[in-house]
Structure 1
Amino acid sequence: MVRIGQAIMLHRGGDREEARNRFAALWAETDVEADLFHRCTIAHYMADTQDDPADELAWDLRALAAADALDRDRVSRGEHQLAVRSLYPSLYLNLAADHVKLGDEEAARCELERARRRLDALPADAYGEGIRAAIERLEKRIADGAASPGEGRGGPGDGAGPVL
């Protein structure tokens, strides 16, 4: 987790390429079966380092697949149970933002609905309020016609970047 945090800090500091390189190395080091929580976290943040919206979507789908696998694995997920549950709204929000970027308004709306169905898992704190507000902002952008190719995903303030 320390190395994941370092890569996140690099990205937030503006060194997108080095962050992407570190996330790629971490991804290659993780075990597909044993490191599901780490793989989910890595993919969740790796998506934001991508230049191509299709690649961004692919990484967000990897994050969701790891979360789903961890959610199905009731035995080993114990310590990560709450984190995974509260991560789902953000995962779906990111997928919605990816679809907006790719111009697929219908898919974006479906992902936002999935995010809304999981909002009860969010804590009543700054993180939870941030995700709720980001969902509202992205819904408004879609309603205002923002679902066109090339729309940016920015970060948490834009209403879609990961807020783990």
Structure 2
Amino acid sequence: MSSIIVFHASSRHQGNTTTIANYLSKQLSATAIDLSDHEIAPFSYEDNYPATDDFMGLIKQTIDADQWVLVTPVYWYTMSAQMKTFLDRFSDLLRYHQEFLPALTGKHLWTIAVGSDSEAVPHFFTPFRLSADYLAMDYGGDLHTWLGRTLTMKPEVQILLDQFVENIIAKSNSF
């Protein structure tokens, strides 16, 4: 079985996104990383760059994982600011740290959205699919979930998550 990292990022440390991320990491025996616990500065083209924050440390810590799962709330019809900043910082690898790019090739990227209702936002997952393609990663799939105003797992969401976990495990067993 391959190694799996669950990255999640939300403005609430103990909110719905964390509930989903913790469930996933337990079911997958994966390492969960709350991006909000790390200082990640925005990407910059300035001469005094690259930044001296936590981004490259996270990449070095997780680059060997075969599968990456990104879990984000839906904020204003898109991903959280923390997740967007994290994805933007992959520009560091393209511009300053190209030695890490080959390690991304063929890794599997999965995405889960955590909304407030059961209806998914159209085209929400497009940036994730296109980013995976651009980085030569295999986009494994995506899932829209919702918990509403409670941190309790809804039975229908748990069923969807369990099916999603089965897909990730099946992909893991193919390594």
TM-score normalized with structure 2 length: 0.38
CA radius of gyration, larger in: 2
Larger strand percent:
2
Return the structure number with greater relative CO, CA threshold 8 A, min gap 6.
2
